[in-house]
A and B are shown apart, each in its own frame.
Chain A
Amino acid sequence: MNPTPTKGAEDRPIEACSHMEDYVSALADNSLTGPMRWYTRLHVLYCSRCGPALKGLLALRARLKALIGTQADTKATVLTDERKSAIDHAMDTLDKRE
């Protein structure tokens, strides 16, 4: 399980060592704990593939998080009248069921 230095690996976005993909990804969202966190951090520090991969994953996550509140995100944030009527009708049915 030694880091796998690969010449020119920085040129390939997010290509972590195959056995470390899940862990590097989990490190990026801070969900990794215990010895695997320690090991993965060490691995990333010295691995020419996983280091850039972690940076790429962190950037990707930040970009995804920024989708909240974007223009596309805030438009049409209500159900159509048709759907609202359907919900009311279903609620009527459920209330009568009791």
Chain B
Amino acid sequence: MTIHQTPDDARPIRADVDNRRTAYKEVIGRHEAHLLRASRRMCGGQEDRAQDLVQDALIRGYEAFIDGRFQPGTNERAWLLRILTNLFINDYQKRNKWESGVDIDHITPAEAKQSSNGIASDGDVPHLALMANVMDESLENALAGLSDEQRACVVLVDIEGAEYKDAAAALDIPIGTVRSRLARARLQLHALLYNYAQDRRLA
């Protein structure tokens, strides 16, 4: 069963609550796993927090669904991912990350450079070999080591394949900020992985 919405009627079918719920539960079924994966990564592997976020996102989604805020032709996955990301942002804002006086868009590059300088070695390591030797767990841990804001960008764009404009909308930031935040996140991520490789004597 699909969500029946026509261009002539932007509001979802209200004829029958059971049908509507069935339709929405099918939406959940199609995207639950995907949302959980994205949420888990955004939350740096914190399972309870990730499950809470998905739960809240799906409830918000149903609210929007019955209120007719789910537009015809909308990409369900992108729509739910956007709700999830918005909730994630609200969550970390509540945790006062923004009120700490630290602007992550500016401080992180310095940290990344510092980290990168610290790991410079005499031997060159081919990037492909470095990445091939990095275990999934290490990569997930490195992801978890990023700030919430940077991790959300990487998860949306590099893992989930979102375009900059979609990530910008989901994160409520300008596209240019997505670009710079991604650049800094990638630098830092690579530095973390390089450190890991050195520690494991893979480098």
Binding site for B on A (CB under 8 A): 10-16, 18, 21-22, 24-26, 28-29, 31, 52, 55-65, 67-68, 70-73, 76-80, 83, 86-87, 90-91, 94-95, 98
CB of A69 to closest CB in B, whole Å? 10
User: Which of B55, B117, B163 is within 8 Å of A79, CB to CB?
Assistant: B55
- Decide: A90 and B59 in contact? CB cutoff 8 A: yes
Contacts of B124 in A (CB 8 A): 10-11
- Decide: A63 and B59 in contact? CB cutoff 8 A: no
A-B contact count (CB 8 A): 139
Interface of B is mostly: helix
By beta carbon, the residue of chain B nearest A12 is: B120
A26 and B179 CA atoms in complex are apart in Å by 7
By beta carbon, the residue of chain B nearest A13 is: B194
- Decide: A25 and B127 in contact? CB cutoff 8 A: no
By beta carbon, the residue of chain A nearest B203 is: A13
Instruction: Give 14 A-B pairs besides A15-B116, A83-B55 with Cβ atoms closer than 8 angstroms.
Output: A11-B120, A12-B119, A14-B186, A14-B190, A21-B109, A21-B187, A25-B186, A28-B186, A58-B127, A59-B131, A60-B190, A63-B132, A64-B159, A73-B37
A71 and B135 CA atoms in complex are apart in Å by 12
Q: Is B3 positioned at the interface, with any CB of A under 8 Å from its CB?
A: no
Q: Is B66 positioned at the interface, with any CB of A under 8 Å from its CB?
A: yes
- The tally of residues in B whose CB lies under 8 Å from a CB in A reads 59
User: Which of A11, A15, A56 is within 8 Å of B113, CB to CB?
Assistant: A15
A13 and B119 CA atoms in complex are apart in Å by 9
Contacts of B36 in A (CB 8 A): 76-79
Q: Is B84 positioned at the interface, with any CB of A under 8 Å from its CB?
A: no
CB of A7 to closest CB in B, whole Å? 12
Binding site for A on B (CB under 8 A): 14, 17, 21, 24, 28, 32-33, 36-37, 47, 51-52, 54-55, 58-59, 62-63, 66, 109, 113, 116-117, 119-125, 127-128, 130-132, 134, 136-137, 139-140, 154, 157-159, 161, 163-164, 179-180, 182-184, 186-187, 189-191, 193-194
A78 and B36 CA atoms in complex are apart in Å by 7
A-B contact pairs, 12 of them (CB 8 A): A12-B119, A13-B116, A13-B194, A22-B180, A28-B186, A31-B164, A56-B127, A57-B190, A60-B189, A61-B158, A71-B136, A87-B55
